[in-house]
Amino acid sequence: MGGNSFGTLFTVTTFGESHGAALGCVVDGCPAGLPLGVEDIARELRRRRPGGGGASTTRMEADEPELLSGVFEGKTLGTPIAIMVRNTAQRSGDYDALRDVYRPGHGDWTWEAKYGFRDHRGGGRSSGRETLGRVAAGAVAKVFLGEYGIVIQAWTSSAGGIDVPGPEDPAFDLDEAEKNPLRIPHRLCAQLIMEKIAQLRGEGDSAGGTVSCLVTGMPPGLGEPVFGKLDARLGAALLSIGAVKAVEFGAGFSSAYAQGSMHNDQPIADHEERAYRLPPGVPALGFKTNRAGGILGGISTGMPLEFKVAFKPVPSVAKEQQTVDQGGSLRELVIQGRHDVCIVGRAIPVVEAMAALVLADGLLLNRGARLQA
Amino acid sequence: MGGNSFGTLFTVTTFGESHGAALGCVVDGCPAGLPLGVEDIARELRRRRPGGGGASTTRMEADEPELLSGVFEGKTLGTPIAIMVRNTAQRSGDYDALRDVYRPGHGDWTWEAKYGFRDHRGGGRSSGRETLGRVAAGAVAKVFLGEYGIVIQAWTSSAGGIDVPGPEDPAFDLDEAEKNPLRIPHRLCAQLIMEKIAQLRGEGDSAGGTVSCLVTGMPPGLGEPVFGKLDARLGAALLSIGAVKAVEFGAGFSSAYAQGSMHNDQPIADHEERAYRLPPGVPALGFKTNRAGGILGGISTGMPLEFKVAFKPVPSVAKEQQTVDQGGSLRELVIQGRHDVCIVGRAIPVVEAMAALVLADGLLLNRGARLQA
Amino acid sequence: MGGNSFGTLFTVTTFGESHGAALGCVVDGCPAGLPLGVEDIARELRRRRPGGGGASTTRMEADEPELLSGVFEGKTLGTPIAIMVRNTAQRSGDYDALRDVYRPGHGDWTWEAKYGFRDHRGGGRSSGRETLGRVAAGAVAKVFLGEYGIVIQAWTSSAGGIDVPGPEDPAFDLDEAEKNPLRIPHRLCAQLIMEKIAQLRGEGDSAGGTVSCLVTGMPPGLGEPVFGKLDARLGAALLSIGAVKAVEFGAGFSSAYAQGSMHNDQPIADHEERAYRLPPGVPALGFKTNRAGGILGGISTGMPLEFKVAFKPVPSVAKEQQTVDQGGSLRELVIQGRHDVCIVGRAIPVVEAMAALVLADGLLLNRGARLQA
Amino acid sequence: MGGNSFGTLFTVTTFGESHGAALGCVVDGCPAGLPLGVEDIARELRRRRPGGGGASTTRMEADEPELLSGVFEGKTLGTPIAIMVRNTAQRSGDYDALRDVYRPGHGDWTWEAKYGFRDHRGGGRSSGRETLGRVAAGAVAKVFLGEYGIVIQAWTSSAGGIDVPGPEDPAFDLDEAEKNPLRIPHRLCAQLIMEKIAQLRGEGDSAGGTVSCLVTGMPPGLGEPVFGKLDARLGAALLSIGAVKAVEFGAGFSSAYAQGSMHNDQPIADHEERAYRLPPGVPALGFKTNRAGGILGGISTGMPLEFKVAFKPVPSVAKEQQTVDQGGSLRELVIQGRHDVCIVGRAIPVVEAMAALVLADGLLLNRGARLQA
């Protein structure tokens, strides 16, 4: 399976270059009978479009998805769901100056070292526009997960060097996150960070940030032990997003500094009504804390999944940089074009999409765990 | 492909429970003609055996590998390489008390929630002994990578809450690492940390830690873009190791707090002699810094790979803990048996093995990148 | 991987229903640098369009492919190649009568038994139009194979109950095959068979047939032993074409009636100049005969590949049939609509496409066989 | 995935050379909770051992399987099931004369053309002994299928040029098949064929044959449309058996000569009690005939699966043959050693094993077809 497909049973293959004719995806393995419409996909794609407020590129694409196959009379057929988004606002000329020069922090040269040549227009396939296919596929996965009560929600937990307090803070408000372009769930922090972003834009610079994610409604039992652990598959999914340089689950890096007696989450009997059923003879169980981030031994515990990813700063800065050209000579480079200053706000639907794809796949894989499905 | 296989072309399938008859692996896809002997595997398995100094379990297994297939007259045949290690020092009786109780921090209950029942003896398949198969397979991958000059070296960069200075420190010494059981490349730190571990053992507690890894001799071009990015595959490999809760590449989480102008690694012309050849028309290139950790756009840059993983503390502590049993009742638990206090020293060959498997696979996958291999 | 993808390294995923918005494919893993244009694909698609002469459906679609991604400045980028063909001549109303009835010989009911419902319009995804995506992908594979001198050519070797003499017959002429709609490489037979087809059309009946295929320019060494044998992969590819009920290689079924001493192909020294190179120490070798059909031990011998497939008669006949409807009641059925009487002529590009996909994949997989690519 | 693994969810990886230390397999993805013992595997392995009556090799191996993992207290754990059989009766010296010569009809030279060298002892990995791992894995699959009432039974339908009448013949008796070494379900035919085999042995020659197979208790709905059709996966499985040159389903090649009106199987209402449940709204359905061999549109119909495979004659004949050696020179060859004259009797458990693996995988894949498992 090539590098452009993901998943074992609920699979997605994405295609498209930033300035080619179209981008999109084919979702294969989505069970039949799922209510699905083009609006389910369009809604998620709108969430990844550039927002206002100065953090984002000014390239404005409609990004209207077209549902080419796999749905009949409002329900999935069990056949491949192909979704296409046409590119319309290409200004390829913007990139002529970049044809023979390697932008720092981008994959321009590694791409050539691998393939011998590259599409230099907007990064070609290595562009952030590649995530359109992911978000479209993730939208399908989200609808599927919704049938089982699983909800994925990500937010900006740090940007421009400023940390945002977490759910334990009284001012933390996920509704707020969808109101500001950086998706910061905290009104005051949002203001501070937007100011910082504006300043960086003025300086021709850019910022990184972190995205945190919470998945509720998780059934226990998802994840395949050993190499197919749920955290391993989520890790692969998240690190496959361009610009992500780190990922952690639950207590993450801080767990390396903890002691076992204080780090273990204590199991407790669970008396709540649940949407899932356990195998006969297995008692319902919860945990007093969730330092494990909802995963033990690579298998979901039924507690919320919690993970965090780090995005490096956008490498396309307006400041002059030094680099090398195709002839091997030193070059001064000032990048033109329409670029984001901080990508994390727009990356949130991408993070959610990747998590959704892993979980949809995990749900289907789990159907094979026992003698009776 | 089930959760016990890893890799696309250079693949491994592992098998075995902690207290079953045997553990091992089958490596499929290793190219023919590679010089390989059982000692190549035995040497790596010895590295993951419990060391002295009080950090490790006192279960002592010979862990002598048997090479069942795939090698003829000292060279790989291109056929599956099966390697088996018999279990000999099982003391299953130690675990009778754990048959109907869920240990905190372990996958006991999640395993039952998934499969309906479990092998309670030493964690069964979720035991750390499962990594025997990984290390054996990784040993084969290391020999393969050695043919191309690629060298993987990991070390303990933090344990028991104490950080170890990195390669930039004059006292950093990788030879030292193989001399102490926790594989700390710094004599003074090793002493301090061993004292801390001894103290924790006395208290019936345990510690986490971090492992850092450096891969030198990297050719550029490894990694498949989009979902098959080199960091995504490494991330999956590393997060599939039990107890790993986080992974970062290059500047990792700190990159989320950086600005683009200062974070980008500056490309420079490369005039050194290299073991690999670039496609025609592509200039040789290096980088002034390596904040990217050797990967740009999911593809290796030719700079050393740098990554770090966090291990949570060993969950089996001697201190009394509260948990739930199979009947759903509260239980006081004191774990008996032979357990590690801090696993990171023994985890180092496992980290190296997983990296080796990803890179061996990446080397083979890369042969398909261009028209001419 | 879902049922709509094929291949390990050179992979294709197809999508689309007969009367949906579009059909197409995504080819992932095609090496970079291959000269490719939309005309390469259009040409093959024209070969599978309905021909004249009364054997084919009268549904006339332009079937103009659109190349959505993966090609830049006339060469493949190494990224997914997405190809789309819009449906334009749907007359879905033709199928209203079939909404609640199961056509004999079709997958209508099995589809419902599996998925719970189906797209009844023209068979939905189980329509022969699904092969559009295969032929488009196969066109890419053919261009790739062409770089290595590998040529695939299939023809109708039997139709309407009449066998066509093979290449040993002086009147056998592959140029002739492309001149008649059933692709019969023999002028006299073509005439006889077309008469038979006309007669069957008059009777409201249909015919089966066989397709034979020859692949020249084969290098030795393609095919992965054991489960990935070249014949096993070709067999899967060919049997995945709707209506194919049998496949044989070389002497095929007749070999079951032979004796070893007369069946073995005698190896002989090969002194011809070849496009491929053998590993050091391995002599060039040919065979006096080719009863093996070009494959020994699952690996190509370098002799031409020879195989034959059987197509059952088109199940949509105009004659009245008895069947069952969704209510479980007996129904008299007369199928309306535009149907082929004999599919084999149009199936030939599909057979070639599937063979091309297997061989392209085999070429890439073979790059991993030895230490040096 | 390397060429030595098979299956998507219920997977097997086999290993071992004919004269290496051991052969075996790892089955991954077998659901937890299945009652399984080593005797289930031993029984099937005994069925593939050489029989009496002169048709088989005189190499007598005990072929006692060892169950290394995956089973605890008599039930599968959901973890990999590793099974090993040691080689004990190697007489590698028998093969010294074959070290530098290519046997006609074997993969000796193709193996070298691919890998650069080979294990010449008994064909190494390309030996028929490789099927030990398949039969062991198939035994596990059979036990799994047994839970659902699916029964696979194959028999010799032709050998030594003599056809055996099918189930429609009153003298056809499957119990008889297990009583004679060639597994011929017809006493008189068995006698005739054994005489023919004895004669061929006397002449230093060998014979081919066909194996037919019937699978009863099939639920409808198995098989993934398009590339994953049930017949495509069975075809790949069967053609991956060494010496198989052809496969057909139901009416097979004869369907190419039929007319649609007479070939379609007529659907009829089904009023029998079944072990499986259909989706709501889908009526129970049977067929008056089974020319389709139990598969329509790549999906099982619920009728018995019927297929047939052709085995070429054993290539190792005692008669003198001409061939080429490693130096490229002509060589007269008389093959020594212990060889079968006709393999079909021993191939029957292999055919059954491959079918069992495909169906076990198909059962698990089918759990993902609809919203509710």
Distance from CA of B46 to the nearest CA of A (A): 22
Mean pLDDT lowest among A57-61, A228-232, A260-264: A57-61
pLDDT one-digit tens code per residue, C276-324: 999 999 999 999 999 999 999 999 999 999 999 999 999 999 999 999 9
Q: Over 80: is that where the pLDDT of A90 sits? A: no
Distance CA B300, CA B308 (A): 17
Is C16 in Cβ contact with A69 (below 8 Å)? yes
Distance from CA of A362 to the nearest CA of D (A): 11
Residues of D in contact with A79 (CB under 8 A): 225
Q: Which of B31, B365, B371 sits opposite C369 (nearest CB)?
A: B31
Is D107 in Cβ contact with C310 (below 8 Å)? no
> What percent of chain A has a predicted confidence (pLDDT) above 70?
95
Is B34 in Cβ contact with C371 (below 8 Å)? yes
The pLDDT score that the predictor gives to residue B249 is: 98
The pLDDT score that the predictor gives to residue B61 is: 74
Interface test with B, best of A130, A229, A261 (most B CBs within 10 A): A261
Size of interface A-D (CB pairs under 8 A): 48
Strands A71-72 and A65-67: unpaired
The pLDDT score that the predictor gives to residue B351 is: 98
When pLDDT is averaged across residues B224-246 and rounded to a whole number, the result is 98
The pLDDT score that the predictor gives to residue C59 is: 65
Quote ipTM for the complex. 0.97
Interface test with D, best of C263, C285, C289, C322 (most D CBs within 10 A): C263
Q: Which of A1, A13, A16 sits opposite C8 (nearest CB)?
A: A1
Interface test with A, best of C1, C27, C69 (most A CBs within 10 A): C69
The pLDDT score that the predictor gives to residue C4 is: 97
- Contact, B322 vs B331, CB < 8 A? yes
Q: Which of C102, C112, C239 sits opposite D231 (nearest CB)?
A: C239
The pLDDT score that the predictor gives to residue A339 is: 79
Distance from CA of C288 to the nearest CA of D (A): 10
Q: Which of B13, B75, B119 sits opposite D80 (nearest CB)?
A: B13
Split at pLDDT 50, 70, 90, the class of A62 is confident
When pLDDT is averaged across residues C38-46 and rounded to a whole number, the result is 97
Q: What's the number of CA atoms in the CB half-sphere (13 Å) around residue A324?
A: 21
Which CATH superfamily groups domain B5-366?
Answer: Chorismate synthase AroC (3.60.150.10)
- Contact, A253 vs B210, CB < 8 A? yes
When pLDDT is averaged across residues D340-347 and rounded to a whole number, the result is 94
- Contact, B357 vs B349, CB < 8 A? no
Strand partners, D300: D295
Comparing C-alpha atoms, which of B236, B109, D72, B100 is closest to residue A221? B109
CATH number of this structure's domain A7-366: 3.60.150.10
Residue of B nearest to C145 (CA): B371
Comparing C-alpha atoms, which of A104, A105, A99 is closest to residue A117? A99
- Contact, D138 vs D354, CB < 8 A? yes
Strand partners, D163: D158
Interface test with C, best of D10, D101, D106, D109 (most C CBs within 10 A): D109
Question: For residues C307-319, b (16+ Cβ closer than 10 Å) or e, as one string?
Answer: bbbbbbbbbbbbb
Comparing C-alpha atoms, which of C191, C195, C183 is closest to residue C156? C183
pLDDT one-digit tens code per residue, A202-226: 999 999 999 999 999 999 999 999 9
> What percent of chain A has a predicted confidence (pLDDT) above 90?
87
Q: Over 90: is that where the pLDDT of A55 sits? A: no
Interface test with A, best of B119, B125, B201, B261 (most A CBs within 10 A): B261
Split at pLDDT 50, 70, 90, the class of B50 is confident
Comparing C-alpha atoms, which of B266, C79, B273, B355 is closest to residue A111? C79
Is C81 in Cβ contact with A17 (below 8 Å)? no
Residue at token pair 């194996």: D211
Output DSSP code: residue B254: G
Q: Over 60: is that where the pLDDT of B1 sits? A: no
Q: Over 70: is that where the pLDDT of C54 sits? A: no
Strand partners, A325: A101
Distance CA C54, CA C197 (A): 8
Output DSSP code: residue A247: E
First to last CA, chain B: 27
pLDDT one-digit tens code per residue, C11-20: 999 999 999 9
The pLDDT score that the predictor gives to residue B187 is: 96
Is C327 in Cβ contact with D256 (below 8 Å)? no
Residue of D nearest to B70 (CA): D16
Residue at token pair 């619920």: D302
Residues of B in contact with A364 (CB under 8 A): none
Residues of B in contact with A226 (CB under 8 A): 3-4, 14, 125, 130, 240
| Chains in contact with chain C (at least 3 beta-carbon pairs closer than 8 A) | A, B, D
Q: Model pTM?
A: 0.97
When pLDDT is averaged across residues A11-28 and rounded to a whole number, the result is 97
Residue of B nearest to C373 (CA): B373
The pLDDT score that the predictor gives to residue D357 is: 98
SS3 D37: coil
Residue at token pair 């000269």: C35
Q: Over 90: is that where the pLDDT of C85 sits? A: yes
The pLDDT score that the predictor gives to residue D316 is: 94
Is C227 in Cβ contact with D4 (below 8 Å)? yes
The pLDDT score that the predictor gives to residue A61 is: 74
The pLDDT score that the predictor gives to residue B48 is: 87
Residues of D in contact with C328 (CB under 8 A): 269, 283-285
Comparing C-alpha atoms, which of D121, D53, D57 is closest to residue D92? D121
Chain A interface with C: residues with Cβ < 8 Å: 1-5, 8-9, 11, 13-17, 20-24, 26, 28-29, 32-33, 66-70, 72, 75, 77-82, 84, 114-119, 124-125
Split at pLDDT 50, 70, 90, the class of C2 is low
> What percent of chain D has a predicted confidence (pLDDT) above 70?
95
Q: Over 70: is that where the pLDDT of B104 sits? A: yes
Instruction: List Cα–Cα distances, D249 to C44, D232, D234, in angstroms.
Output: 29, 10, 10
The pLDDT score that the predictor gives to residue A2 is: 66
Domain ranges (residues) in chain D: 5-366
When pLDDT is averaged across residues D327-338 and rounded to a whole number, the result is 88
The pLDDT score that the predictor gives to residue B95 is: 78
When pLDDT is averaged across residues C68-75 and rounded to a whole number, the result is 98
The pLDDT score that the predictor gives to residue A88 is: 87
The pLDDT score that the predictor gives to residue C263 is: 97
Distance CA A149, CA A145 (A): 6
Mean pLDDT lowest among B301-310, C15-24, C222-231, D49-58: D49-58
Q: Which of C2, C115, C117 sits opposite A11 (nearest CB)?
A: C2
Average pLDDT, chain D: 94
Specify the higher pLDDT residue, D123 or A355: A355
Strand partners, B307: B213, B249
Is A245 in Cβ contact with B252 (below 8 Å)? yes
Q: Over 90: is that where the pLDDT of A48 sits? A: no
Neighbour count for residue B52 (Cβ, 10 Å): 8
Is B264 in Cβ contact with A321 (below 8 Å)? yes
pLDDT one-digit tens code per residue, A252-281: 999 999 999 999 999 999 988 898 999 999
Residue at token pair 């058996």: D241
Split at pLDDT 50, 70, 90, the class of B2 is low
Distance CA C119, CA A71 (A): 9
